[in-house]
Amino acid sequence: MPHNHTNKTDNIRLAFFLNLGFAMLEILGGFWTNSMAILSDALHDFGDSFSLGLAWFFERFSRRQHDNKYSYGYKRFSVLGAFFNIIVLFGGSLFVLCEAVPRLLKPESIHTPGMAAFAIVGIGVNGFVMLRLRKQHAMNARVVALHMLEDMLGWVAVLIVSIALLFTGLYILDPLLSIIITAVILLNVIRNLKKTAALFLQAGPENIPINEIEYQLLQINNVNSVHHTHAWSLDGEHHVLTTHIVIREGTPSAEIPKIKAQVRELGRKYNFIHITVETEFGDESCSMQG
C-alpha cells in the first residue's frame, strides 16, 4: 500500500513538471510562431500545471494530522489553491481574448511548420502522462489523466488547423481556434468559481439530501424529532455532518450509544468523515440558538 501511494504521488509530480516545462516552452513558441492558438493552449496547460502542482502538494500536505490551529486538518487549503488557479486562468483568458479578437478582423501570418511541430510535441507529452496515470484508481490521478486527455485533444485540434494553414493560408483559423479554446477555459473557470465559492460559504455538499437524511434519522427507534442538521464540505470530497436528535421520554440510557451508532452508520453511507451527534431529552432546551 505505501508503494502504491508513493507511485501515485510520483506520477502526479512527473505530470506537474512535464506540463509546467512544456507550458513555458509553449509561451515562447506562441510568440515565435505568432500563433494565438498555441498561446491559448499554453494558458490552458499552465492552468493545468497549477492544478497538478496543487494536487501534488496537497497529496503530501493532507497527510499532516490535525492540530490546535487546524482542528479539521489541512484539506481545506486546496480550496484556497483553487481560487488562485481561477484568478490565473481568468486573467490569462482575458489577455488571449484581447489579442485574438482583433486578429479576426486583421489576420496575421503564422510560422505554420513551427505550429505543427509544437502540436506534435504537445500530443506526445500529454499522451505520455495520460498513459502513466490512466490505470491508477486514486481520484487525484484519475482527474489528472482526464486533464491530460483533454489537453491532448486540444493539441490535435491545433495540429489539424496547422495542416489546414499549410495548404490554404487561412490565417483567420488561428484566432478562431484560440477563442474557442479560451471560451472552454472560461466556462470551466466559471463552473469552478461557483463550486469553490460554495465551499467557502459552507454550502451543503452536492448530492447530499438533508431532508432525506433527517427522514431516515426519524426512523431510528426512540428518536422523537430531529433539528439543526447541518452538512458542509472541507474540500469538495470530505464532508462534515452535525445534528441534534430528541430522544423519547423513558428511553433507557443504555440505548443512547446504540442510537448514536446508528446515526454515524447512516452518515457513513453518505461519505461523511466527521459526524457529531447531540442528544436531547423531552422538553430539554436546545443548546443552539437561532
- Which pLDDT score, from 0 to 100, does residue 59 have? 58
- Sketch the domain layout of the chain as residue ranges: 2-200, 210-281
Whole-angstrom Cα distance, residue 72 to residue 200?
Answer: 15
How far is it, in rounded angstroms, from Cα 178 to Cα 161? 11
Instruction: Identify the pLDDT of residue 137.
Output: 46
In this predicted structure, what is the pLDDT of residue 3? 44
User: Which pLDDT score is estimated for 134?
Assistant: 63
pLDDT computed for residue 279 by the predictor? 85
| Domain 2-200 coded CATH 1.20.1510 | yes
Neighbours of 154 (CB within 10 A): 24
Mean pLDDT per 10-residue interval, the chain, length 290 residues: 49 74 82 81 74 67 65 66 73 79 83 87 81 57 62 81 85 85 81 80 79 88 87 80 86 86 86 84 60
- Residues 187, 189, 190, 195: is their CA dihedral positive or negative? positive
Beta strands in 191-268 (DSSP E): 223-233, 239-247
What is the per-residue pLDDT for 139?
Answer: 47
The CB density around residue 168, as the number of other CB atoms within 10 Å, is 9
pLDDT for 1: 41
Q: Rounded to the nearest 10 degrees, how much is the dihedral formed by the CA atoms of 236, 237, 238, 243?
A: 70
Residue 253 DSSP code? G
**Long-range contacts of the stretch 138-142 (C-beta < 8 A, 24+):** 138/8, 139/237, 140/8, 140/12, 140/55, 140/59, 141/8, 141/11, 141/12
Alpha-carbon gap, residue 76 to 193, rounded angstroms: 15
Please return the burial class of 262, using the count of CB atoms within 10 Å of its CB with bins 0-12, 13-18 and 19+.
Answer: middle
What would the CATH number be for the domain defined by 210-281? 3.30.70.1350
